[in-house]
Chains A and B, each alone.
Chain A
Amino acid sequence: MSAGLVVRAIALAILLAFLVAPEAFTPVFAPLTERGAPAIYTQADMLALAMNHLGLVAAAVVAATIVSVGLAIVVTRPFGAEFLPLSRSIANIGQTFPPIAVLALAVPALGFGAAPTFVALFLYGLLPIFENALTGLTNVQPAVREAATGMGMTQRQRLVQVELPLALPVILAGIRLSTVIALATATIGSTVAASTLGEVIIAGLLTNNVAYILQGGLVVGALAVLIYDAFLWLERALARRMGRTA
């Protein structure tokens, strides 16, 4: 087992321990509080907040993946090529729109809670996945594509059996970026009453409690790093299998 793996395993163990029994960490955070303020956020169950946070991110990223990869498939087929510039613009607009503005616009339409946050995360997730799926699908070697057709694969068989598997490591890299962005962005969902780990940070800001801010930040940060690494490991394993270095 490599040193990196040991560090990650320890980080994961600490994270899980904190989520299950945050009170046990009181001695760690107590020095950060003033005037006897509580050291650990207890208004909501920490584990439940983390699960909601992850659930919201997962739902948004899955939706963004389906739409982005679907779009990338369409615009890389002969019949869809003319939509390539349009789809690029749409994905770019999704990216340039500030998440807070998306929330502000979505709340009147969708009300408070998880829905407007989901919309913001979804829009934010589109571009990295779309760009990567496009790169992955267009970078399939012409000889491989031609062999697939020459063997008698239909368009659909070629896509499913050859092009998508070959593009998968690159698509995963896009999903990894979107996931990490979404993990961070989901915290601001708490401003519109979505139940996420942002709640802990915002409570800390409102009550001037550094311990809360740090807890929320560390949990989100640890989740992001661990998930990022897991994706990277998977991408590399897949790429290595194909004889590529990624």
Chain B
Amino acid sequence: MIEIDAVTKVYGTQTVVDAVSMTVPSGTIAVIVGTSGSGKTTLMRTINRLVEPTSGAVRIDGEDNRALPAYELRRRIGYAIQGHGLFPHRTVAQNIATVPGLLGWDQKRIANRVDELLDLFQLDPAAFRERMPHELSGGQQQRIGVARALAAEPNILLMDEPYGALDPIIRAKAQEDLLAIQARFGTTIVLVTHDMEEAIRLGHRIAVMDAGKLLQYSKPADIIAKPATPFVKELIGAPERPFRLLSLVRVADLAEPGEAAGAPLDAGLSARDAYAELLWSGREAAPVARDGAIVGRVRLQGLAKQAARPS
């Protein structure tokens, strides 16, 4: 659990982070979203002490994060940044091995861990271990950046606009991977982005920042349904609200007994994509399939009801 307690950061006369308090429960993803310059990065950096707050405190599992020397704290917290920050003079394997090396793991354990992570990110260890970062595509560099952050099995992972430089398809894939990894290891993740779409897609909770202030910190459904300020509402995009609500649920959650004609939809599909598919194929309903077997159907009407403002 990460507790940010009344953290303020002042640079000169500018209050960059203004009395922000928020708690990230263990094993959840909190996404900090806001316009450029709103203080997201600064706030996130107070967690691993790349920024020392002017006032306030950050506690990790109840312990003040100043209890340890900063470098020891940072070795326990994964850190992945935009533009990945890979070390250009080190191979992929050496990059991933950075924190285990600092922690003094033995060579065998490090080598095993490197291969395990490359496998996890669907990169063939034999082909990638000895490559240099400049020999990788942008998407591969980004994956190595996250693999490096996860190398020493941290409980906490901080990510600053990790997908900012990726094209939409690679980005969607990377987001899927992150959700899978998070579900598998139960890592507590704090992720910074300026993209509300990404925030809704990834966050168990979303923190909206503007001019250093935390405007709202809630579950995505609440952010969409009950924006705390006009700014939050604008950030979500009023015309997008019904679709954003739909994107929070899966077809499986809305399936009902019954039959329907035409190609089935996968149970894991988001309700938003299902809605688009029904509109596009001109159907009132479609069968829902899980692992190839029909488990029910979804109807346009049911989806539309889901998209309406919650009462």
Contacts and interface: CB of A to CB of B under 8 A. Distances in A.
Interface stretch (B67-75, B193-201, B235-243): B67-75
Contact of B75 (A141, A148, A151, A242): A151
Given A150-B50, A152-B71, A242-B88, A143 B83 contact: yes
A130 B249 CA distance: 61
Interface string A144-182: 101111111110010000100110000000000000000
Contacts of B89: 162, 165-166, 241-242
B134 A243 contact: yes
Nearest to A242: B88
Given A151-B75, A153-B102, A157-B102, A243 B88 contact: yes
Contacts of B76: 152
Contacts, number: 67
A243 B135 contact: yes
B50 A149 contact: yes
A147 B86 contact: yes
A154 B87 contact: no
Contact of B134 (A148, A152, A242): A242
Nearest to B101: A161
Contacts of B132: 241-243
A242 B95 CA distance: 13
Contacts of A153: 71, 98, 102
Nearest to A149: B50
Contact of A154 (B50, B71, B73): B71
B87 A152 contact: no
Contact of A152 (B74, B85, B158): B74
A152 B81 contact: no
Given A149-B50, A150-B48, A243 B133 contact: yes
B287 to A, nearest CB: 48
A243 B134 CA distance: 5
B214 interface: no
A151 B85 CA distance: 11
Contact of A151 (B82, B84, B99): B99
Interface in B61-109: 71-76, 79, 81-89, 98-99, 102
Given A166-B88, A241-B89, A150 B135 contact: no
B71 A148 contact: no
B44 to A, nearest CB: 11
A147 B85 contact: yes
Contacts of B135: 243
Interface of A: 141, 143-144, 146-154, 157, 162, 165-166, 241-244
